[in-house]
């Protein structure tokens, strides 16, 4: 059997955002939309990765399997990115929403947890961004603050006017000896883009804290201690201008994730060749 082509672009799956109630002006009366925010796809594409959005299979408000299964996605792809979006539903981690506007998207939660579990079982890397970090934590048995300001005393504002969400920043600090501290050596406090009112409360099983916000110590990055790569960051690296020295450069994080995807591809090829 021929050796795998190292020059072949990596194929990365991107979980969709869900729009359950579509504004009439979009022209999809009575329909639901699944979509992506283009910046996250373009960020992945800067490293010459091919990006594929992974539409769900659903019916009756809950996920229903058809002839295409999540395992089919996993078999064809080299890694998974869980993008940002609506709140994780408190129902998903065993709580009741304190306010109606914090009820989140339970349907999306269940689909993304299925995606995460299948990629982890296959030993393929997963990167969670913003909501994606929160979803990873919940999938591993953790919980969230439904609202940082009202449930975490002394916190500063982690969100901003939604119309300018890519222009709100705060500082973070890496945990000593963490994977991120090795990936970004000799960095002190650094600015990141932040737009979230939920955050990790109880850390999920076998997850390690990699970064905290300054000065209020909200968890801003987590990594799984298991056999495959599962990483979550609360900030949006896709909104960071690499030419701005004040912002954390997202390229090392992207390279680390894609290097894990390449290793996963090589392992899969070796199993086929045996």
Active site residues: 130, 236, 238
CATH number at residue 153: 3.40.50.880
Predicted local confidence at residue 267, as pLDDT: 87
> Which DSSP symbol is given to 79?
E
What are the start-end ranges of the H helices in 46-147?
A: 70-76, 106-121, 131-139
* Predicted local confidence at residue 159, as pLDDT: 61
| CA pseudo-torsion sign 150, 155, 157, 159 | negative
Q: Given this model, what pLDDT does residue 19 score?
A: 86
Residue linked to tokens 């995460």: 116
By residue count, the chain amounts to 274
Peptide bond before residue 34 is cis, with ω within 30 degrees of 0: no
Asked if the structure places residue 264 within a domain, the reply is yes
Residue 173 and residue 180: Cα distance in Å, rounded?
10
Q: Which pLDDT score is estimated for 174?
A: 97
Q: How far apart are CA 87 and CA 146, in angstroms?
A: 9
User: What kind and span of H or E run contains 224?
Assistant: strand 219-224
Q: Please state whether 159 falls in left (phi above 0), alpha (psi between -120 and 50) or beta.
A: beta
Any domain includes 89: yes
Domain count, the chain: 1
pLDDT along the chain (274 residues), means of 10: 63 93 78 89 97 80 66 95 95 95 93 97 97 98 94 68 69 96 92 91 98 94 97 96 91 97 90 77
In a domain, 57, yes or no: yes
- Interhelix angle for 131-139 vs 106-121, to 10°? 70
Q: Taking the C-alpha atoms of 259, 263, 265 and 268 in order, what is their torsion angle to the nearest 10 degrees?
A: -170
Domain range for 125 is 11-273
Find the largest Cα–Cα distance for the chain. 60
Q: Tell me, yes or no, whether 4 lies in a domain.
A: no
Element (H, E) at 58: strand 58-59
**Does residue 36 form part of some domain?**
yes
Q: What is the pLDDT of residue 149?
A: 87
CA torsion sign for 46, 169, 212, 127 is negative
**Whether 262 contacts 49, CB under 8 Å:** no
What integer pLDDT is reported at residue 265 of this predicted model?
Answer: 94
**At a CB cut-off of 8 Å and minimum separation 6, what does 228 contact?**
120, 123, 124, 125, 126, 260, 264
Residue 66 belongs to some domain of the structure: yes
- Residue 26: the pLDDT is 81
Q: Confirm whether 5 is domain-assigned.
A: no
Q: How far apart are CA 263 and CA 274, in angstroms?
A: 17
Task: Note whether residue 3 is domain-resident.
Answer: no
**In this predicted structure, what is the pLDDT of residue 162?**
57
Element (H, E) at 211: strand 207-214
């Amino acid at each position: 059997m021929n050796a795998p082509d190292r020059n072949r672009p990596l194929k990365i799956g991107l979980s969709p955002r869900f729009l359950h109630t579509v504004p009439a002006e979009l022209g999809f009366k009575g329909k639901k939309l699944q979509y992506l925010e283009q910046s996250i796809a373009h960020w992945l594409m800067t490293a010459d990765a091919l990006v594929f959005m992974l539409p769900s299979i659903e019916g009756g408000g809950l996920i229903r399997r058809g002839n295409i299964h999540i395992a089919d996605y996993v078999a064809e792809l080299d890694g998974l990115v869980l993008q940002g979006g609506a709140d994780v539903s408190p129902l998903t981690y065993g709580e009741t929403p304190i306010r109606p506007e914090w009820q989140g998207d339970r349907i999306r939660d269940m689909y993304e947890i299925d995606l995460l579990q299948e990629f982890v079982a296959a030993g393929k890397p997963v990167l969670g961004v913003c909501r994606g970090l929160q979803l990873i934590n919940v999938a591993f048995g953790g919980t969230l603050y439904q609202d940082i300001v009202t449930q975490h005393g002394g916190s500063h504002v982690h969100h901003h006017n939604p119309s300018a969400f890519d222009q709100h920043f705060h500082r973070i600090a890496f945990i000593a000896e963490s994977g991120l501290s090795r990936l970004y050596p000799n960095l002190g406090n650094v600015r990141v883009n932040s737009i979230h009112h939920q955050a990790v409360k109880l850390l999920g099983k076998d997850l390690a804290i990699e970064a905290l916000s300054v000065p209020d110590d909200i968890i801003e990055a987590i990594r799984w201690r298991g056999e495959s790569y599962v990483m979550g960051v609360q900030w949006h690296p896709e909104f960071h201008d690499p030419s701005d020295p004040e912002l954390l450069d997202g390229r090392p994080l992207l390279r680390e994730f894609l290097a894990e995807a390449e290793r996963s591809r090589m392992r899969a090829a070796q199993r086929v060749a045996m």
